Amino acid sequence: MSGTGSVLDSIIEGVREDLTARAIPMTELKRRLSEVDPLRGARSALLGEGLHIISEVKRASPSKGDLGSIVDPAFLASKYEEGGASIVSVLTEERRFKGSIKDFESVRRAISIPMLRKDFIVTEYQVIESRVLGADLLLLIVAGLSQSEYNDFHQMAQELGMDILVEIHDEAELERALEVKPAIIGVNSRNLKTLEVSSAAFHQLLPLIPDGIIRVAESGIAERAEVQIVEELGAHAILVGETLVRAGDPVAAISRLLGR
């Protein structure tokens, strides 16, 4: 679990308050599972030759503030798809990242590739809600969950058919992550308790992730040289938000990062 008074604690507190405000009865939420669209296969989208990119629709962050005006998140996501993104990630956390479920839904209608719901999942309700929204890939941040919560949410997401991106920041979290035999692990170079970024996390953790697990490098990647480093360390994919949001031409930015 997160340390007392950390940035992560504060974010999760806000997430719980916002959830209380928008939640519908669980019976109604579960009923909506019978109406969901087919999943698009996030894990399979990250398999195959070459490095893959998860391109993120991200309006703001706690460390950088507003990243720029995204007038039309669906249009931005369609440019990501055009540029060769394997998956599009959409922030749905409202307070610190200024995301929304509306953003996610508009992007879902605009693209055909898989989608990651990027949020702080801390309740069973959010797991089910994510499937109802059409998330193909669900983020579980080990630092924000007890071991029992992590185990339960991972199993629940699997039963609902979603793939899971398990996010870690240190070796202790990697050990916890491996308990459920995850298919995808992301190493976030940003410490969510302090918001500091260090590429040392990539060097330390990516090589420790067992073979057979898809490795994703998250945060702090802006240059082609940085992409080459994480690829050499064993990354199968990178998750990039700020660099693409701020790029005047996201299609060209994806090509530059991937060395095309």
Question: Any catalytic annotation for residue 98?
Answer: no
Question: Any catalytic annotation for residue 61?
Answer: no
Q: Identify the pLDDT of residue 246.
A: 84
Q: Identify the pLDDT of residue 182.
A: 98
Which of 81, 218, 226, 242 does the annotation list as catalytic? Answer: 218
Mean pLDDT of the chain: 92
CB within 8 Å of 227: residues ≥ 6 apart: 51, 221, 238, 257, 258, 259
Report the share of the chain in percent with pLDDT over 70: 95
Which of 55, 89, 189, 219 does the annotation list as catalytic? Answer: 219
What is the distance between the alpha carbons of residues 62 and 59, in angstroms, rounded to a whole number? 11
Work out the average pLDDT over 89-100. Answer: 89
Work out the average pLDDT over 54-75. Answer: 78
Question: Any catalytic annotation for residue 173?
Answer: no
Give bridge partners of residue 166 from the DSSP assignment. Answer: 140, 185
Q: Identify the pLDDT of residue 3.
A: 43
Is residue 231 within 8 A of residue 258, CB to CB? The reply is: no
> What HEC string does the chain produce?
CCCCCCHHHHHHHHHHHHHHHHCCCHHHHHHHHHHCCCCCCHHHHCCCCCCEEEEEECCEECCCEECCCCCCHHHHHHHHHHHCCCEEEEECCCCCCCCCHHHHHHHHHHCCCCEEEECCCCCHHHHHHHHHHCCCEEEEEHHHCCHHHHHHHHHHHHHCCCEEEEEECCHHHHHHHHHHCCCEEEEECECCCCCCECCHHHHHHHHHCCCCCEEEEECCCCCHHHHHHHHHCCCCEEEECHHHHHCCCHHHHHHHHHCC
What is the distance between the alpha carbons of residues 17 and 20, in angstroms, rounded to a whole number? 5
Work out the average pLDDT over 221-248. Answer: 92
Q: Identify the pLDDT of residue 62.
A: 62
pLDDT digits (tens, 9 = 90+) for 157-168: 999 999 999 999
Question: Any catalytic annotation for residue 79?
Answer: no
Question: Any catalytic annotation for residue 35?
Answer: no
Which of 55, 61, 86, 118 does the annotation list as catalytic? Answer: 118
What is the distance between the alpha carbons of residues 18 and 163, in angstroms, rounded to a whole number? 25
Of 30-44, 66-80, 129-143, 237-251, the least confident: 66-80
In this predicted structure, the answer to whether residue 120 has a pLDDT above a threshold of 70 is: yes
pLDDT digits (tens, 9 = 90+) for 7-27: 899 899 999 999 999 999 999
Q: Identify the pLDDT of residue 1.
A: 44
In this predicted structure, the answer to whether residue 94 has a pLDDT above a threshold of 70 is: yes
Q: Identify the pLDDT of residue 22.
A: 93
The CATH architecture assigned to 7-258 reads Alpha-Beta Barrel (3.20)
Which of 6, 56, 94, 130 does the annotation list as catalytic? Answer: 56
Of 110-119, 162-171, 196-205, the least confident: 196-205
The model's pTM is 0.93
Which of 61, 188, 189, 191 does the annotation list as catalytic? Answer: 188
One-letter amino acid at 17 equals E
pLDDT digits (tens, 9 = 90+) for 107-117: 999 999 999 99
Which of 58, 189, 191, 242 does the annotation list as catalytic? Answer: 58
Question: Any catalytic annotation for residue 219?
Answer: yes
Q: Which residue ranges make up each domain of the chain? A: 7-258
Question: Any catalytic annotation for residue 13?
Answer: no
Compute CA 136 distance to the chain's CA centroid, rounded to the nearest angstrom: 11
> What HEC string does 173-236 produce?
HHHHHHHHCCCEEEEECECCCCCCECCHHHHHHHHHCCCCCEEEEECCCCCHHHHHHHHHCCCC
When pLDDT is cut at 50, 70 and 90, the band that residue 260 belongs to is confident
